[in-house]
Amino acid sequence: MPVPRPTIERIELFPLHVPFRALVREAMARSAGGLGMAIAAEEPWTGGDFVIARLTADDGTRGVGEAFVWLPETGVSPAQIVDAVAHGLARYLLGANPFDVGSLRARMDANVARSEVAKGLLDMACYDLAGRIAGRSACELMGGRGADELPLAALIPLDDADSMTAMALAFQKNGTRTFRLKLGSGVEADRRVVAQAREALGPEARLRVDYNQAYAVDEAVRAIEAIARFGIDCAEQPVRADDWLGMARVQRSVSVPLMAHEGCFSLTDATALIELGAVGVLGVNTERPGGITQALRAIDYASRRGIGTVLHNQPLGIASAAQVHLGASRASVLGHAMELFGHVMLEDDLILEPLRYANGRVQVPQGPGLGVELDVDALDRYATSAPVVIERSR
């Protein structure tokens, strides 16, 4: 007797804005343009914009996904994500089997160009839904649970050297061993920050830096050469996001591996950057390069080229859980601590039970799907517009 195939019958989309914690807003206000980084955006960054997608199957089972968007980085707003799903992508999911993530991705790509964040939102929700239907953890659908907990890196916003070092030491006291230092204030200022952090944190601490596109090619080379002797795991996005050839020139000139962030939004981006010799570390999350399905492919591709991966984002609880499952499924090949900052930065994670963080590590959730439950009441508190509902027509 054939086994019934589940189908997706309903898609709900919830645009949200979740403010940063008060201490985070204060720290942002004190530093680089109200952003805590060298990126040249004009508007202060006071919270996160998100879209949550909830899929309902024919048996009533629900799965959720989440996308974090910020215009200076993703180039799209929550309204644009909602529009892309409602008027472009939804038709390829409704009536489909949520287990068929590969063919669903192919259909979305064949009919809607780019829109990687919107596709990633739906892809994540499919993994949660399929896992709940099967009674299996999402990481088991990605290849298996390769770890029960994963190491985390701490984010240190751009500020003066004393303030950045003090924050890093506070994280170290709580068990963190890897630190991402925001740089981009000038070659000498950057050198002072890294030198002071290295001296304070000790030789065993792992340091990575993030320039947020601060420099032209030649200055980027000088900036990275000035800190290389302090032991740097990777340098993130030293030049403009669209300057892949410039990234390759920098990478040829320095010994520190580069990582693209603002410049890597799709699987094609990731593979091209690797083949150009523009990066020595891959940076992805569960939204880009277009969702979990594409992220798995990118990580595996990088691994075959001898390149490790940093998983990094600042999401709510749903995407945080998804990223942890992704990391657990590829724990043996990542080679770098995960960056997961939403629980530190945002005033709410919108899940009923938070992920378990301790001693600079995060535990992989148990239970079916992503292993977390959406706080439905919080949707109303943080909604920026009415939810959008798309149902399968009969």
- Give the domain ranges of the chain: 8-135+376-391, 141-363
- pLDDT score for 239: 98
- Percentage of the residues of the chain whose pLDDT score is greater than 70: 98
Q: Among 157, 152, 61, 141, which residue's Cα sits nearest to residue 102?
A: 141
The pLDDT-based confidence of 206 (bands split at 50, 70, 90) is very high
91 Cβ contact list (under 8 Å, min separation 6): none
Give the CATH class of 8-135+376-391: alpha beta
What pLDDT does 44 receive? 78
Of the pLDDT bands very low, low, confident and very high (cuts 50, 70, 90), residue 52 is very high
Q: Say whether pLDDT at 225 is over 60.
A: yes
Task: Find the range with the poorest average confidence among 40-49, 208-217, 264-273, 321-330.
Answer: 40-49
DSSP-derived secondary structure letter, 88: I
Residue 1 pLDDT grade (very low, low, confident, very high; cuts 50, 70, 90): low
- pLDDT band at 322; cut points 50, 70, 90: very high
Q: CA–CA separation, 330 vs 349, rounded Å? A: 25
What pLDDT score does 167 carry?
Answer: 95
Among residues 278, 188, 173, 269, the alpha carbon closest in space to that of 234 is found at 278
With a cut of 70, say whether residue 3 has pLDDT above it: no
Q: Which CATH superfamily is 141-363 part of?
A: Enolase-like C-terminal domain (3.20.20.120)
32 — pLDDT class (breaks 50, 70, 90): low
* Separation between Cα atoms, residue 67 and residue 88, nearest integer Å: 17
Look at 34-43, 126-135, 261-270 and tell me which has the smallest mean pLDDT.
34-43
Q: Which residues of 215-226 are buried (b: 16+ CB within 10 A; e: fewer)?
A: bebebbbebbeb
Q: Chain-centre distance of CA 239, in angstroms?
A: 20
Statement: the pTM of the whole predicted model exceeds 0.85:
yes
Give me the pLDDT at residue 33, please: 54
Give me the amino acid identity at 31.
Answer: S
Residue whose pair of structure tokens reads 């298996």 in the numeric block: 144
DSSP structural state of residue 92: G
Angle at 276 between CA 118 and CA 110, to 5 degrees: 30
CA 261 to chain CA centroid, Å, is 9
